[in-house]
Structures are given as structure tokens and as C-alpha cells.
Amino acid sequence: MQIPKEAQLLRIFIGEADRFDGKPLYEAIVLKVRELHIAGATVLRGGLGYGHSSRLHSAKILRLSDDLPLVVEIVDSEDKIGAFLPVLDGMMISGLITLEKVQVLQYGTQAAA
């Protein structure tokens, strides 16, 4: 799979408890982008955060949260990310989505010269 040097980074901010079709939303998103042959996706788990409600979600022992913040990062061409956005819209009820242009310096491995 190839990825252009000028690409887009899609960031999706959701909670661990968010679901889609009976499974965790983050998992559903990653499986869908893989199915669509999008170059890559990573899920990052946050230890502390808040969103629209201003309610803190924390991994502290004394205040264990069952809904820690997650960020799903997806990188590919503008066309592929743009085609995925309507699909994503149908999967999400709440959260934050951001989009930015990125420059891809390396993708995968390169054979030794």
C-alpha cells in the first residue's frame, strides 16, 4: 500500500465506553478503516481528560473511570480520508473530530540501498 507524501491526519476523540453495533467504537472504527484499505490507524488511551460535558475521566486509583479518553489517529490521502468521513459520521453519536494536513516522511520499511 502506498501513501502520498502530502496526506491528512484524522483525529477522533471519544470515550472508552462509546459503542457501535455492540462493540467498542474505537474497535469498530479501526476495523472499518482497515476494510477500506486506509493506510493506518492507531488508538491512544489517555490517563486524564474531559470533553463537552466538562466531566473529568481519570485513571487515578482513587477515582477509577470506566470511560477513559481515547484518541484514534488515522493517516492517508485526502481522498481516502474524505471518503471515510460520511461513514464515521454514521458511527458516532458524540465526540470530537479534527483534521489536519501532514507530511509523511516514512511509511513502512525501506529496503537497504
**Fold of the domain built from segment(s) 6-103:** Alpha-Beta Plaits (3.30.70)
Query: Mean pLDDT over residues 17-23, rounded?
Result: 95
Residues forming beta bridges with residue 13, ordered by sequence position: 71, 96
In whole numbers, what is the pLDDT of the chain averaged over residues? 88
- Pick 84 or 48 by higher pLDDT: 84
Query: Residues near 90 by Cβ (< 8 Å), separated by ≥ 6?
Result: none
Domain parsing of the chain, residue ranges: 6-103
Residues 31-45 pLDDT 10s: 999 999 999 999 999
| Distance of alpha carbon 108 from alpha carbon 33, whole angstroms | 17
pTM equals 0.85
